[in-house]
Amino acid sequence: MHDCRVAGLGNLTQAFNKLAPQYSLNVMDLPWSRADLVAAVEKILDKQNEGHQTDAESLVQPNITVDGRVAPSVETWALDSCVIDVNAQAVAVRVIKTQAISLTRTCQYQEIIFAWFAHGQLSCLKTLRDNDARRAEQELEKATPQNLQAPCHTSLDLEAKYRAYIKSINDQTMEATFDGFCKAWVSHNAAKKTIAEYISLIQESQSAIQGLNFEIQDLIIDKDAGRVAARLEFTGTPVKRWADAMPTGGSVKFHEHVMYWFDEGKIHWVWSIVDLDTYREQLQS
């Protein structure tokens, strides 16, 4: 069973409404298809948002808890992209949230949401949002290019490939191996990078956090679309300033939600949100 904390359950409805057409939810129809999975999330969140508490409770497992942090005021949610694992009955979605910051101004930021189902019920939601972009009142959030929205089926063992990719990071063998994992150019949060620049981005955190270890906590594999989504757990001891936080001698544990697009068996597009708030809070405590 996943250890879940759910942020703003009722507010998620609009994001999922555009993910799939309306379907009647029948919890006995298992396993669900790709469309059924997202329709089930839509159904639950619709009922929660409409205040049908009794109906919602029949669809949601009792172990779900509500995240203690207050969610920001959000005007709209726009679905950007998704990763769907039918075998795991799991969905990862990236949404672009538009928040009113004054009567005449709005800002946008991304959020990546992981959802799992068990026995015909929503069992878990895990979310991370880009709070740095929200606080900076970023005017526009980049969207996934239209040419990447179409599924790109692959017969490649994406799980094995991805686990080897993470092992290379932990073993610090990226210079020798990353040309086997990544295309010549990788777009990371819409910033186009060479393999060397992409490696440097990772090495920057490894240099700042001694013993930095990447652990795959959750993995969603979408062979039909040629995509992978992962929740990574990072552990280590900061020794240099990083993410606007100074080391204190203490260790840290924080997470990343990340979505990957593969082309010809190699990563070429990445959306990433790192929980930097938790990282900074641990260094301040």
DSSP codes of every residue in 130-144:
-HHHHHTT-S-PPPP
DSSP string covering 73-99:
P-SEEEEEEEEEETTTTEEEEEEEEEE
Domains 10-143 and 158-284 agree in fold: yes
pLDDT at residue number 102: 85
Q: 242: which DSSP letter?
A: B
CATH number assigned to the domain covering 10-143: 3.10.450
Q: Which residues of the chain have pLDDT under 70?
A: 1-30, 40-75
Cα separation, 124 vs 158, whole angstroms: 23
Contacts 24+ apart (CB under 8 A), 231-238: 231/114, 231/126, 231/255, 231/256, 231/257, 232/166, 232/256, 232/258, 234/205, 234/209, 235/211, 236/209, 236/210, 236/211, 236/212, 237/209, 237/210, 237/211, 238/208, 238/209, 238/210, 238/283
Q: Which two tokens mark 235?
A: 């552990």
Cα separation, 127 vs 8, whole angstroms: 9
Cα separation, 112 vs 272, whole angstroms: 8
- pTM metric for this prediction: 0.82
DSSP H helices in 141-194: 158-171, 174-177
pLDDT at residue number 47: 56
User: Taking a C-beta distance cutoff of 8 angstroms, is the pair 83, 48 a contact?
Assistant: no
pLDDT at residue number 172: 98
pLDDT at residue number 62: 44
Residues in the chain: 285
Cα separation, 83 vs 23, whole angstroms: 19
Max CA pair span of the chain? 56
Terminal CA-CA length for the chain: 30
pLDDT at residue number 205: 98
Q: Which residues, in sequence order, are CB contacts of 177 under 8 Å at separation 6+? A: 168
The owner of tokens 């996934």 is 144
The owner of tokens 């990719």 is 165
Question: Which fold is adopted by the domain 158-284?
Answer: Nuclear Transport Factor 2; Chain: A, (3.10.450)
Residue 239 falls in which region: left (phi positive, over 0), alpha (psi -120 to 50) or beta = alpha
Q: 70: which DSSP letter?
A: P
**Which sequence spans correspond to the domains of the chain?**
10-143, 158-284
Q: 38: which DSSP letter?
A: H
pLDDT at residue number 225: 96
